[in-house]
Structure 1
Amino acid sequence: MAVSYKDYYKLLGVERGARAEDISKAYKKLARKYHPDLNPGDKQSEEKFKEVNEAYEVLKDPEKRRLYDQLGPDWQHGQQFQGAPGFGNAHFTFNGKSFDGSGFSDFFETLFGGAAGGAGSGRGTQFGPDPFGGFSARQRRGRDVEAELPLSLEEVARGGRRTVTLQMPQGPKTLEVTVPAGIRDGAKLRLAGQGDPVPGGTPGDLFLRVRYLPHHLFKVDGDSLQCDVWLAPWEATLGAKVPVPTLEGQVELTIPPGSSSGRKFRLRGKGMGSGVNRGDLLARVMIKAPAQLSAPERELWQKLADTSAFQARA
């Protein structure tokens, strides 16, 4: 099978002597332009996006870039080359190698054996230095997989073991996962060897990305939690002891007399996180007025209004 040379510099639109920051800048610009999310259904953009990522995978890595520059467009004819320290008198044999056509291009996998790590890695045979100065084939590795792990705030606070069922390419998979108490939203849990399998090789890894589920009482702000505490007008005026919800259950909060709506009370160590780094819970006072009044109640409220010197808008 013929494998054509790819000019990675041309794909990124940079000179061969371009600096690392120029290569990174060019890649980010093209990645935004051809990203599949911005070009839904556009197969040409999708292929261009893959080529741009492949080129950047090589040119961002000094060792890969050095190897690529040494071989150049004549790599098929000059399979013997003098590599940099660590490569020795390496000898690449490309003829007769088969390709599955997935992941990175055949050209990339022939030279580098697939990307090292990451969600797009693990296609093709990888090569690395052996003790005798040549190159030895390492085992194929399956593709890493990322999935979402939705958790309630109570589950985050407790931590511990959870059973999750995921829809994987090869079918449903049920796993036991240990969730660290106080894990942050967006954090990833790595389950080694639970990614995509590959015939004759080792499976990739599974990464579970934590997502906080919305809560009916609490709002999350970094490591802090916020909730509202509703008071009757007389409780806000005279003071009271009222229950306040936390992730571990209710606690009693003392409301001092004259607490206006919007005032916040800090309950230390009742927020997100764990141990000494756990955040606080901010309980905000909200005053609720009765929607309906009996005749005696209305009379008392009117008497208070007539006798009070308090001015709310003063």
Structure 2
Amino acid sequence: MIGFTGGTLDRADRLRHDPQALAAAMGDWRARLLTLRDYVPEVTDDGRLGWTTLADAPEDAELVLLGLDGGRPCFAALTGAPAPAARSPTLFAMLDSLAAGEAATYAAARAVLDWHARHGFCANCGHATALFRAGWGRRCEGCATEHFPRTDPVVIMIAEHDGRALLGRQPAWPQGRYSALAGFLEPGESIEEAVAREIGEEAGVAVRDVRYVASQPWPFPSSLMIACVATAEADAITLDTNELEDAIWVPRDVVQRVLAGGDGPFLPPPRYAIAHTLLTAWAEQG
């Protein structure tokens, strides 16, 4: 399963439009609250997210309805603080230990809470906004403009040439880690065009025949990763050092060996990242 996918909560859109039903959900004795501390979840020994009751919500916190779990309402508390810019190593260790589907619930909660914390004022008139639709929107108290959580599309891709994959690394990554190249889609651009532009900008490699592989929500802060493979016209690399520290071509059998835990010239991306899924899909093609 791709990381941050496979969620089992019923998002219960019908409750978002029904204030009375929402109030009933908040008053349900079975309702539970996701346990978060600075956006880091509590995780049980069996890899499940930790939950508590609504009685433990801070007095000044607003509640966001995450959905229903077998009819039981599930909420997260909005406290107003945005997510930390730095990603905690503790958090990423937890993500590796979560049971299937649990990370999807966490991703939704983290992304929407962080969005609220960063959108307290209207982009149209500058007036303060207020939560509505059970936490899945904000309405301006001045001009009544409605704002909704946004997801930023990001292409993440491998260029292939003569049975080799193009991988790059950023200086901030752990020593030896290489991964797929990635970048945000720009306005007026298709997925295929963004893949070709990003590979060209970062590695100086021209590509064609872009193929979609899979997608993944990525809640840091709120992106949709769109994984693709493209065919490179040639293998000469012209590195943009503002984007990458290095880029290398890796043969398919070496990628297979590294993903299986063997030695190789690079440390692979973590399993919860779609780059790992993309590399695996490409390696298995051979």
Superposed pair shares fold, TM > 0.5: no
Structure with more contact order per residue of length (Cα contacts < 8 Å, sep ≥ 6): 2
Question: TM-score scaled by structure 1?
Answer: 0.28
Kindly name which structure, 1 or 2, has the bigger radius of gyration based on alpha carbons.
1
What TM-score, normalized by structure 2, do the two folds share?
Answer: 0.30
